[in-house]
Amino acid sequence: MSDIVNVDYSTRIPNNVNLTDDRQVLRALERWHPGYIDWWMTMGPDGFQEALVYLRTAVSIDPKGWAKFDYIKMPQYRWGILLAPQEESRKIPFGRHYGEPAWQEVPGEYRAMLRRLVVIQGDTEPASVEQQRHLGKTAPSLYDMRNVFQVNVEEGRHLWAMVYILQKYFGRDGREEAEQLLQRRSGDADKPRMLGAFNEATPDWLSFHMFTFFTDRDGKMQLESLAQSGFDPLSRTCRFMLTEEAHHMFVGETGIGRTIQRTCEAMKAAGIEDPSEINKVRDLGVIDLPTIQKKLHLHYSLSLDLFGSEVSTNAANAFNASLKGRFQETKIEDDHKLESSTYPVLKLVDGEIKRVDEPALTAINMRLRDDYTADCQRGLDRWNKIIDRVGVAFRFQLPHVAFHRQIGEFKEVDAAPSGELLDEAAWNSQKEKWLPSKDDGDFIQSLMRQVVEPGKFASWIAPPRVGIDNKPGDFEYVKLAA
């Protein structure tokens, strides 16, 4: 156990996978390292590479003390390879190979499918860093600035985690894929990142917090499914990544919560009862609730697309092959093979949205997405409680799954947030009611001013209730370079 818990710092790459004795993989990773640093310097947080940031670094996988906090310059962050401990005699928990011992090597017949899953997962990690690279310049406080950098270095580590899998288990084509992961760029017309939401801009902090709430939560669901994998190294890698992921969603949920709180308090203080008095609310230097709802519509719908098509043979094949399971697979009480069960799927039938029973195997994406929606709803309930506590009459709502979709059943139709199907003219005349307009974006941008005095916050966001690592309110989370 102690070998697993103590991280090996004797090599350049902190790890608990005994890289010292795995010379071939160590050399492959060391060869990849300069390209990674180059990518980080050009595509990582712009203008802050010399700043000292109070960051946590994963140094162990001991649940009681896996991270240590210290000031560090980001390029010197110890990106490491940490896998959750191997469970003795772990059995494959689903699919055709249910009950067989988990694989320690890639099964030949599933090599291509597995590589694709690992590459897609890997591709999202650097993409998010690229999307967020300008946010430091408009951080609403040092606390928030530190949080975005923390998220960024950990997404960098998650890229390392996938690159390790590629280099250790996929030989030459794994090394080529690892190289490609450093070549693609978020939003680039010629070599974009693989999934839609990772090519969208993150232009402001409200977008960042929505992204960490909605898109990182997709990350959580996908990692949870891969953590069930019959391929044990992938399962162990994802299990440890989930430990870090929790903080990213915390950043999103509390970031939006603090924004809502500030808006409601400012409205109360100014005696504004009606949340739809947008200009009056905006004059207070806070973001009106209807605009926050529009951003929510946008980010939720973009994130739903990340689950793929509702009915998917890719997903069925990955489940059948015991490569990618369901959320909390081991807690589900069924045969874990899904050969004869069905699952209800919302589909477009003769121009109407109908619930149709589909073979559960092909509806795997839909099921994961439903679990995701339930998880999102719990977050919205907590935001709505903040509004209730301050005493404003407004409720945040998730839009219908047919709203603003680019992937799956509803990609060809236009629907209102209520789910009502619309013709093109009706959609075009109303879409700015539901999605952020250029004016909304300009207004949000106008509030994005960097605040760097310790303990101070921009006008539009409330301070957090507690500091990171229990630090006091005026703690200097980032020491900016002179």
What are the residues binding ligand BYC (CB under 6 A)? 117, 120-121, 124-125, 128, 155, 195-196, 215-216, 218-219, 222, 305-309, 312, 314-315, 324, 365, 407
CB 448 → ligand BYC: shortest distance, Å?
21
**In the complex, least distance from residue 443 CB atom to ligand BYC, rounded to whole angstroms:** 26
Nearer to ligand BYC, 18 or 313 (CB): 313
CB of 158 to ligand BYC, least distance (A): 7
Nearer to ligand BYC, 97 or 324 (CB): 324
* Pairing verdict, β 342-349 and 478-479: unpaired
Evaluated on CA atoms 60, 64, 65, 67, the torsion sign reads positive
Closest CA to 419 of 408, 428, 410: 410
Which of 303, 333, 335 has the alpha carbon at shortest distance from 319? 335
Q: What share of the chain is helix, strand, coil (3-state, %, to 5)?
A: 50, 10, 40
**Least separation in angstroms between CB 383 and ligand BYC:** 20
User: Which residue, judged by CB position, is nearest to ligand BYC in the bound state?
Assistant: 308
* Residue whose entry in the numeric block shows the structure tokens 């890997």: 122
Hey, which bits of 137-252 come out as E strands?
Answer: none
Choose between 262 and 405: whose C-beta lies nearer to ligand BYC: 405
Q: Which residue number, 116 or 479, has a Cβ lying nearer to ligand BYC? A: 116
Nearer to ligand BYC, 342 or 459 (CB): 342
Q: What is the largest CA-CA distance in the chain?
A: 68
Rounded Cα–Cα distance for residues 159 and 179 (Å): 12
Token pair belonging to 95 = 């699919």
Q: Taking the complex as a whole, how short is the minimal distance between the CB of residue 435 and ligand BYC, in angstroms?
A: 18
What token pair was written down for 163?
A: 């690159």
Place of tokens 């916050």: 457
Report how far residue 243's alpha carbon sits from residue 63's, in angstroms, rounded to the nearest whole number: 9
Q: How many CB atoms lie within 10 A of CB 257?
A: 21
DSSP annotation of 329? G
Q: Minimum distance from CB of 305 to ligand BYC (Å)?
A: 4
Q: What DSSP string describes 105-138?
A: S--GGGHHHHHHHHHHHHHHHHHHHHHTTTGGGG
| Cβ-based neighbour number of residue 341 at 10 Å | 13
CB of 241 to ligand BYC, least distance (A): 8
Dihedral sign, CA of 47, 50, 53, 57? positive
Token code pair at residue 184: 């693609």
281 or 363: CB nearest ligand BYC: 363
Backbone angles phi, psi at 21, to 5 degrees: -95, 0
Q: Which is nearer to ligand BYC, 156 or 275 (CB)?
A: 156
* Residue appearing with tokens 């030989």: 171
State which residue, 29 or 238, has the beta carbon closest to ligand BYC. 238
Nearer Cβ to ligand BYC (232/305): 305
Instruction: Write down the least CB distance from residue 301 to ligand BYC, Å.
Output: 11
Q: How far is the CB of 211 from ligand BYC (least distance, A)?
A: 7
